Structure 1
Amino acid sequence: MLAELMWQAESDGADLATLRGIAEEAGELAAARALARLGLSDAGAAQDMAELRELLAAWRDAKRSALRAALGWCVRMVLALVLVKLGFGGWVK
């Protein structure tokens, strides 16, 4: 859409470099506004984002560990039930 508008303006006599400059400024302004609305326009925003990424990575690791532990317990329980069914109940404690 932007490229089409720039082509149309250029065909009407506007300078392509000026149009690109306008588009770049508009993009930077929009990005700054979006960051401000998210509360990430201050000097500590980069540190905040890094901490959020670390927190998200820790959450994913904890979730993965919990799933693995639950799966391990399920496997152990199934094996214990199989041993009991086969008559080796004395081995399961």
Structure 2
Amino acid sequence: MRQDEMLAALIGQAAADGADLATLRAIAEEAGERGAARALARLGMSDAGAAKDMAELRELLGAWRDAKRSAVKAAVEWIVRMAAALLLVGLAVKLGFSGWVK
């Protein structure tokens, strides 16, 4: 039985029986599955390779986050090194070590 037919049958049963809790839950479940299938189809993710595509996208996103974290870490390390070097140069000038360079 197709999803459309299943949902129509459940709605018909609910109308005929007075809609008990089990029938309402079944209607909600079928409607949810149908809506999810429609959303996936609109996104182009309803084929057999969709799960593999999502896994690859998650892996790619994880690699991007790792690369971004590494780049930020490297930039901070270079800024700290430059600040330390400037501090040392400033101390050398302040303490009169500039004469040694000449």
TM over 0.5, yes or no? yes
Task: Output the aligned Cα RMSD.
Answer: 1.6
Q: TM-score normalised to the size of structure 1?
A: 0.79
The answer to whether 1:15 aligns with 2:8 is: no
Q: CA deviation at 1:33?
A: 0.6
Structure 1 CA distance for aligned equivalents of residues 19 and 74 of structure 2: 65
Structure 2 CA distance for aligned equivalents of residues 15 and 67 of structure 1: 58
The answer for the alignment partner of 1:47 in structure 2 is: 52
Larger radius of gyration: 2
Letter of the structure 2 residue corresponding to residue 25 of structure 1 = E
Structure 2 CA distance for aligned equivalents of residues 18 and 57 of structure 1: 43
The answer for the alignment partner of 1:25 in structure 2 is: 30
The answer to whether 1:81 aligns with 2:86 is: yes
- Is there any run of 5+ residues in structure 1 with no aligned partner, and where? 1-8
Comparing both chains, which one has the higher relative contact order based on Cα–Cα distances under 8 Å and sequence gaps of 6 or more? 2
Letter of the structure 2 residue corresponding to residue 16 of structure 1 = L
Letter of the structure 2 residue corresponding to residue 55 of structure 1 = L
Q: TM-score normalised to the size of structure 2?
A: 0.72
Matched residue pairs, number?
A: 78
- Is there any run of 5+ residues in structure 2 with no aligned partner, and where? 1-13
Between 16-25 and 45-54, the greater mean CA deviation after superposition: 16-25
Query: Deviating runs (4+, > 4 A) in structure 1?
Result: none
Letter of the structure 2 residue corresponding to residue 72 of structure 1 = E
The C-alpha deviation readout for 1:52-82, integer Å capped at 9, x for no partner, is 0000000000000000000000000000000
| Identity over aligned pairs, percent | 78
